[in-house]
Amino acid sequence: MENHRVIIVGGGFGGLNAAESLKRGAVDVTLIDRRNFHLFQPLLYQVATGGLSPSNIAVPLRSIVRHQKNCRVLMSEVVGFDLTNRALKLTDGELSYDSLIIATGAQTGYFGHNEWADLAPGLKSLEDALDIRRRILSIFEVAEREEDPVRRSALLTIVVVGGGPTGVELAGTLAEITRHTLRSDFRRCQPSDARILLVDAGPRILAAFPEDLSAEAERKLKEKHVDVRVNAGVVRLDDKTVELRSGDKTETIFTETILWAAGVEASPLGKVLMDAAGSSVGRGGRVPVTAELHLTEYPEVFVIGDLALALDQAGKPLPGVAPVAIQQGKYAAKMIMARLTNGTLPPFKYHDYGNMATIGRSAAVAQLGKWKFRGRIAWLMWLFIHLMQIVRFENRVLVLIQWAWNYITFNRSARLITDVDRRRADSNHQPAN
């Protein structure tokens, strides 16, 4: 008899944890992702700011599951569902399943302003991070050649939109780069003249944290010369300006670099799935699921992580964070194994261990249950937890060494402006012409 076939779509935190939890099950697992690697998204801002290399935070899916004999990896793309016949349509063929776990996550969302995507890149993929790295490093290069002080000042203004953990990490790190790393690099332009703005539409940054930790983060950012603007919504932007509105006041900021950390929306595969199920997506394009994380009509189809609209015991949507995805991945795997012996599990329950955000070198805020931490101790906790989480990565020691090195020397050696689009034009040996 053939084993029960489980297909997992998406190799992020949710999908990968589901695959690993099925290790000892009498199942055949197929993990499908259109990329060949798992990305450790919490450190993506380090790539965007030149502190780590892509390979420090991404690891080939195949090497993660290479010794899990019941799991194969397929680099492919899902384009449709035949839920009645339990089959997936891929760009190159079809696949049948007995159980399905969909974990394709979320992408940057612009609240209906998709035309802003090119002007204000988000930070969700490695390519995003390299694009942001290129943009940030390039403004200092252009500023070094610019004679007009007004344009130079606009060039040296960076606006980070969104005061969540990603926005705070980006703004804090950018402030350090301009004041320390790049200090002696330029002759005409002074990177320390750069102005970093962190803009949030809400009344405070880090809204998911207790109020006093938000205030602490804001204080720390200001100490690093970040200009924090709360209650300030972006109402318009182009390649030279961004317009902020606070109440009935509007202000125009002259800038050529806007980074978008303000919102996410679910992967578009959610809508494809809901169309196939004859239903519709919920808020933010997320897929409504039962308390057992599956579709109401199709109990063999689980949706987990940022793509899922799962509710907690109080009926509130669970947040789109890694711990939710991880716990849901494990739950879905266990449920599939329980059903193999005609068992079941109680509804999914999210264990919230807390929340943390780093603001830069030696500064972070953390809330773990009832405890709150700030300053160096919070930063060390943040570092420890993130390093432990990438324990599955064989190069964790190298990341640690790189990190220690960067910390001691203010070094950011991955300050490379690379751009595949220019490949042909640049195939010159050390081209300068």
Touching a second copy, residues 266-305 (CB under 8 A)? 267-269, 272, 305
Instruction: Give the span between the Cα atoms of 38 and 65, in whole angstroms.
Output: 11
User: How many residues in the shown chain lie near a second copy by CB under 8 A?
Assistant: 98
Question: Does residue 360 belong to the site contacting a second copy (CB under 8 A)?
Answer: no
Find the binder of a second copy among 99, 108, 178, 358 (CB under 8 A): 108
Q: List Cβ neighbours of 170 (8 Å cut-off, separation of 6 or more).
A: 45, 48, 49, 123, 160, 259, 261
Which of helix, strand or coil describes residue 205?
coil
Residue 323 CB, nearest approach to a second copy (Å): 15
- 309 close to 283: Cβ distance less than 8 angstroms: yes
Of 146, 169, 176, 218, catalytic: 169
Question: Does residue 77 belong to the site contacting a second copy (CB under 8 A)?
Answer: yes
Catalytic annotation present for 169: yes
Query: What is the CB-side half-sphere exposure of residue 382 using CA atoms within 13 A?
Result: 25
Our CB check for a second copy shows the closer of 351 and 424 to be 424
Residues 80-99 that bind a second copy (CB under 8 A): 92-93
Find the binder of a second copy among 209, 281, 306, 336 (CB under 8 A): 306
Residue 249 CB, nearest approach to a second copy (Å): 33
Question: Does residue 3 belong to the site contacting a second copy (CB under 8 A)?
Answer: no
- 170 close to 261: Cβ distance less than 8 angstroms: yes
- Interacting span for a second copy (CB under 8 A) from 157-165, 246-254, 367-375, 408-416: 408-416
Find the binder of a second copy among 5, 25, 74, 279 (CB under 8 A): 74
E strand spans, 136-190: 157-161
- 74 close to 31: Cβ distance less than 8 angstroms: yes
Our CB check for a second copy shows the closer of 295 and 365 to be 295
Our CB check for a second copy shows the closer of 223 and 394 to be 394
Query: For 417, which DSSP code?
Result: -
Our CB check for a second copy shows the closer of 145 and 316 to be 145
Our CB check for a second copy shows the closer of 140 and 348 to be 140
- 365 close to 340: Cβ distance less than 8 angstroms: no
The residues that bridge with 7 in the sheet, in sequence order, are 30, 100
Instruction: Give the span between the Cα atoms of 323 and 214, in whole angstroms.
Output: 21
Find the binder of a second copy among 98, 131, 300, 312 (CB under 8 A): 131
Tokens of 234: 């972006």
136-165 footprint of a second copy as x/- string (CB under 8 A): -x---x--xx--------------------
- 169 close to 358: Cβ distance less than 8 angstroms: yes
Residue 415 CB, nearest approach to a second copy (Å): 5
Find the binder of a second copy among 17, 19, 38, 213 (CB under 8 A): 38
162-191 footprint of a second copy as x/- string (CB under 8 A): --------------------x-xxxxx---
Query: For 24, which DSSP code?
Result: T
Question: Does residue 231 belong to the site contacting a second copy (CB under 8 A)?
Answer: no
Residue 170 CB, nearest approach to a second copy (Å): 16
323-352 footprint of a second copy as x/- string (CB under 8 A): ------------------------------
Find the binder of a second copy among 17, 49, 56, 178 (CB under 8 A): 56
Distances (CA, A) of 317 to 284, 314, 336: 11, 9, 23
Q: List Cβ neighbours of 417 (8 Å cut-off, separation of 6 or more).
A: 133, 134, 137, 138, 141
Residues 363-392 that bind a second copy (CB under 8 A): none
Question: Does residue 216 belong to the site contacting a second copy (CB under 8 A)?
Answer: no
Instruction: Give the span between the Cα atoms of 374 and 362, in whole angstroms.
Output: 10
Cite the DSSP H helix spans in 224-355: 269-277, 322-340
Residue 293 CB, nearest approach to a second copy (Å): 17
Which of helix, strand or coil describes residue 287?
strand
Angle at 269 between CA 19 and CA 331, to 5 degrees: 30
Residues classed as catalytic = 169
